[in-house]
Amino acid sequence: MPPGNVIGVDLGGTKLLAGAVDSGLVVHHRAWRASRERDQAELLDDLVDAVDELRAAMDWNVDAVGFGIPCLIDQEQGRALMAVNLPIADLAFRDVMSERLGIPVYIDNDANVAALVEQRFGAAQGAENVVMLTIGTGIGGGVVVNGESYRGGSGAGVELGHMVIDMDGPRCQGNCPNRGCLEAVASGTAMIREAERIARENPGTPLAIELERRGTLPGPLITELAHDGDAGARQALEHVGRRLGVGISSLVNIFEPEVVVIGGGVIGAGDLLLEPAREEFRARVLPVLADRPIVPARFGEEAGMLGAACLALDGQVRRTTA
């Protein structure tokens, strides 16, 4: 039996991914659930259900569970304070889940754990200072400073997606009262909105035909059409990429990371998204910092799940050596 087996759970705005992971960060089983249109009680039931499914599938014991949740977190109390894109508010998440699962539970913001695993084993390996953005339904942010996750005073910090890049821009989404946040103009949701606008203005194009047929344009389809060369889909990705580059130039000016990592569902677009971001970034960042690389997450859409597993493995090491 390999030592230190955990489950990592990444709770996203549209789906949750759970993985049974050993101490070498090898994934043995995965479980998925939809997270859209669930209330808080249903979300917790789904989380427990996904963890139970993995525990039943494994022939070894699970020592702990790590959760990456798109939420502001009070680390000391283990409370989920508020989420922008999920119905989670003022919840004693760590206590509730550890009681229901009967094993130790560790929680952190989903983008913080993604940044941690990319810094330790992934695209930012070897760098001590890293900024990561995870782009999905919203935009999550993670910052590693001198090799450690930076979380602010209580653990609720580094909401990089709610950095304003356009003071009079569109209203931000969900529970954020601000306008023109990076999340409002460069998330997967913003990309879909942009692609649908382009489709309506260009009837007869592949993008417009798909919109008419489905009534909406799913993110992965936009990416697929863009890879196939559809001009409208490429334009939507470029639009989002440029706004991303504006945000990244501020983040690099502020944190001076050695590398910026981009992850989340939208990263399937690869350079179709990243090249416009790099171009905009180089034009705006303070010139001595213009050489900082902007790279895709190594672990792609699994960065959050693996990061949550990493959080649980770290927690167990601290627990046994304390």
Q: Specify the residue, 144 or 181, whose C-beta has the smaller distance to Zn ion.
A: 181
| 158 counts as binding Zn ion under rule CB under 5 A | no
The reply to whether 176 sits near Zn ion by the rule CB under 5 A is: yes
Sole window of 113-121, 136-144, 178-186, 255-263 interacting with Zn ion (rule: CB under 5 A) = 178-186
How many residues in the shown chain lie near Zn ion by CB under 5 A?
5
Distances (CA, A) of 224 to 128, 206, 268: 35, 11, 9
Q: Please select the residue that binds Zn ion; options are 178, 205, 235, 250, rule is CB under 5 A.
A: 178
**Site membership for Zn ion, residue 165 (CB under 5 A):** no
Among 162, 239, 242, 292, binds Zn ion (CB under 5 A): 162
State the DSSP code for 300: G
131, 132, 117, 113: which is closest to 66 by C-alpha? 113
Q: How far apart are CA 103 and CA 9, in angstroms?
A: 14
What's the closest the beta carbon of residue 12 comes to Zn ion, in angstroms? 17
**Choice between 166 and 258, CB closer to Zn ion:** 166
- What gap in Å lies between CA 266 and CA 241, rounded to an integer? 10
Cβ neighbors of 310 (< 8 A, separation 6 or more) are 8, 25, 66, 113, 116, 117, 120, 121
Q: Does 181 bind Zn ion (CB under 5 A)?
A: yes
* Candidate segments 44-52, 94-102, 161-169, 244-252, binder of Zn ion by CB under 5 A: 161-169
Q: SS3 string of 106-159?
A: EEEEHHHHHHHHHHHHCCCCCCCCEEEEEECCCEEEEEEECCEECCCCCCCCCC
Of 100-108, 116-124, 180-188, 244-252: span binding Zn ion (CB under 5 A) = 180-188
For the bound state, the minimum distance from the C-beta of residue 299 to Zn ion, rounded and expressed in Å, comes to: 26
Q: Which residues bind Zn ion (CB under 5 A)?
A: 162, 172, 176, 178, 181
